[in-house]
Structure 1
Amino acid sequence: MTTFTSEQDAFIQHQDGNAVCIAGAGTGKTTTLVGLIGQKLESISANSMLVLMFNKDIRSDFKQKLQASGVMQDVPVHTFHSFCLKFLNQTGYLRETGYQIDFNEGEQDKRFAKQILRGIAQQEKSYQRQQLIKDPKTIELLMNFIGLVKAYLLPPKEVFDLTDINHEYRFILDAYREFETVRKQHKKLFFDDWLVESVKVLKQSEAIRAQYQNQIRLLVVDEFQDINNAQYALLKALLGDQAQLIAVGDVDQCIYKWRGSAPQFMLNFERDFAPATTTPCQIPSVLGIP
């Protein structure tokens, strides 16, 4: 049997309002989340819950630990992207728009980027500029920039101004616009688009937004310090008046700043998700689940 600290038990038993647990590596946060889900299942059905995580390995590990703890109900545990993929299918978005999901991450989108940069290079008279634009590092820069624009949900120029990219690379603004034109012509949704389009659907369709807000009673987010603007917008759109948001994270453990993570969302949790409380998590004295 798992023994929890008083702080962890208070978090697990939390009833009213939203809550964030400050928990770094080695603090037993997974055990605490498993305990939380088990407790909440006493009053909330599994299909009224949604657990969001950052990668499929952690997702699989968490599902195994839920089962090992005795939770037999099928609690929906997703990565942000697997949830969005399911969402785009369930809502009929893919069928109605004709867009296709691209699962071959980093291949076709990179081919588009190469072709676009070659076209821009051909318009340059300077051989040095041509080589700069066609350089493999520039292709990677463009791919990273595309990801940042979609993570920030901001216009490309605003994102460019927020970064420390040298101004000699301003051509990536034109490259981004052309990339989006080509992507839409080919009816492709690349990995970063899944989240962006899900947010758009939720914002534009009151009926779909109401459907999900009425269904979700408990929304649990792991590694909350790593969410970006697009993920934050998704959470806001999914949270209805009857839903409770429970988050776990530690701003000192933020590892995705390079792709748009915004730790201030965790720092501003009590303000943005009021009424909310912040609780520290300590290592339990006995871990029945590692």
Structure 2
Amino acid sequence: MGGNNLTSEQQAIADHAGGHAKIIAVAGSGKTTALLHYIKNRLDAGIAPERLLVLMYNRSAREDFDRRLRQLAEGSTPAVHTFHSVGYRLYQRMIANDHIAAANLSPLPQSTIQLQIWKAIEECAPTHELEEIRARKQSEIEAAEFFIDYTKTILSGDLSAFQELKLGDEYMYFLQVFRTFEAWRRSQNAVTYADLIYDPAMLLSMDEEMAEQYGSYYEDILVDEYQDINEIQHFLLRVLYGKTGNVIAIGDPDQTIYEWRGSKPDFLLTFFDGDFPPRIFIT
């Protein structure tokens, strides 16, 4: 495996050949290069590309990693996804299997979302506060939209989200706004971007037997920037893993930047180890 110009730490990651792994990698440590070579080695060992799931945090990272992987590996390479694209594919499969109601999986435009949120606010807000709320209409819409999106990063529901966000009593009516918006959305068979993960995950969290039908396919699941995933994404990963294969997490707990939308470094530092007891690499 000479000629790769990998450091000893990178080579150890590239040569990892079985079991879960957690890679704590600071910026500039070359973890992407190590991950690319790990995938190439798995392909060279005969693993079919479709049995490898590679998850990047956003579309830009996905496109860059996919380009670099195609340059490094010969022949077919695994598809590189984001959590939302995997959620989309899972949603499609669940519709086909009659496990979830059919929906238009093109996410609603934000203008439609905000219009419906405002309608819900006017319906649910305390009557004696409506005049003041109307005076700050846009900021109230954005606050309610944030609450709805945050609620869809956890499994425990809107009240837990309210408590986690430490919102004041004046926003208690957001609980009913969430429920009103969700009732409207489902009546329209529509989804927001967050629902591509939220809808399948919530249903599968309540039906373990059904969840088992969607796991245990992949030989390896590789997740970059694990410090930035949230509870519902971590749950989705557990579903996809099932009971077989390896899960490889890469992240830096000091670089969490999406805590405002439910990300917690605890999923990398603690929960990953409980669900996928790993070999740990530090670069």
Give the TM-score of the pair, scaled to structure 2.
0.90
Q: Does 1:226 align with 2:228?
A: yes
**32-41 vs 266-275, which moves further:** 266-275
Partners of 1:225 and 1:71 in 2: how far apart? 31
Inter-partner Cα distance in structure 1 for 2:281 and 2:244: 22
Question: 87, 92, 98: which one pairs with 1:89?
Answer: 92
Of the three residues 188, 206, 210, the one matched with 2:190 is 188
Post-superposition shift, 1:208? 6.2
2:59 is matched with which residue?
56
CA distance in 1, matches of 2:176, 2:272: 39
Shift of 1:85: 0.8
Alignment of 1:121-132 (within 5 A): 121=125, 124-126=127-129, 128-131=131-134
Give the match for residue 286 of structure 1.
none
Question: Does residue 1:69 correspond to 2:72, yes or no?
Answer: yes
The offset of 1:244, in angstroms, is: 0.1
Indicate whether 1:164 and 2:172 are aligned: no
Higher RCO (C-alpha 8 Å, min separation 6): 1
Contact 2:24 2:280 in 1 (8 A): yes
Matched, 1:261 2:266: no
Q: Corresponding residue for 2:104? A: 100
Shift of 1:269: 5.0
Residues 163-172 or 230-239, more deviating: 163-172
| Residue number in structure 1 paired with 2:151 | 149
Q: Which amino acid aligns with 2:104?
A: Q
> Alpha-carbon deviation of 1:110?
1.4
| Equivalent residue letter for 2:231 | N
Change (3 A) 1:18 1:171: same
**1:114 to 2:104 alignment:** no
Match of 1:215 among 214, 217, 222: 217
Match of 1:139 in 2: 141
Q: Distance in 2 between matches of 1:232 and 1:274?
A: 11
Query: Would the aligned equivalents of 2:222 and 2:248 in 1 still touch at CA under 8 Å?
Result: yes
* 1:93 positional shift: 4.8
Give yes or no for contact 1:270–1:277 (8 Å, CA) kept in 2. Answer: no
Contact 1:213 1:243 (C-alpha < 8 Å) held by counterparts = no
Structure 2 runs not aligned, ≥5 long: none
Equivalent residue number for residue 80 of structure 1: 83
2:49 equivalent to 1:32: no
Query: Is the CA contact 1:225–1:253 (under 8 Å) kept in the aligned structure 2?
Result: yes
Q: CA deviation at 1:270?
A: 5.9
| Percent of aligned positions that are identical | 30
Q: How does 1:232-243 map to 2 (within 5 A)?
A: 232-243=234-245
1:235-281 deviations in Å (ceiling 9; x for gaps): 11111332100111001111110000021011115631343121112
Asked if the contact 2:13/2:281 (under 8 Å) is kept, the reply is yes
3-state DSSP of counterpart to 2:280: strand
1:220–1:246 contact (8 Å) kept in structure 2: yes
**Are the counterparts in 2 of residues 225 and 261 from structure 1 also a CA contact under 8 Å?**
yes
Whole-angstrom CA distance in 2 between matches of 1:115 and 1:48: 45
2:153–2:230 CA contact under 8 A, matched in 1: yes
Instruction: Give the C-alpha shift of residue 45 in structure 1.
Output: 1.2
The alpha-carbon distance between structure 1 residues 159 and 208, as it changes in their structure 2 partners (threshold 3 A), is closer
Q: How does 1:244-259 map to 2 (within 5 A)?
A: 244-259=246-261
Q: Residues 27 and 2 from structure 1, CA distance in 2 versus in 1: closer, same or farther, beyond 3 angstroms?
A: same
TM-aligned CA distance change 1:108 to 1:269, over 3 Å: same
Whole-angstrom CA distance in 2 between matches of 1:92 and 1:274:
29
Q: Tell me by how many angstroms 1:50 deviates.
A: 0.5
Q: Distance in 1 between matches of 2:162 and 2:61?
A: 32
Equivalences, count: 278
| CA pair 191-274 structure 1, distance change in 2 beyond 3 A | closer
Deviation digits for residues 166-205 of structure 1 (CA, Å, limit 9, x no counterpart):
2211111111111111111111111111102222454437
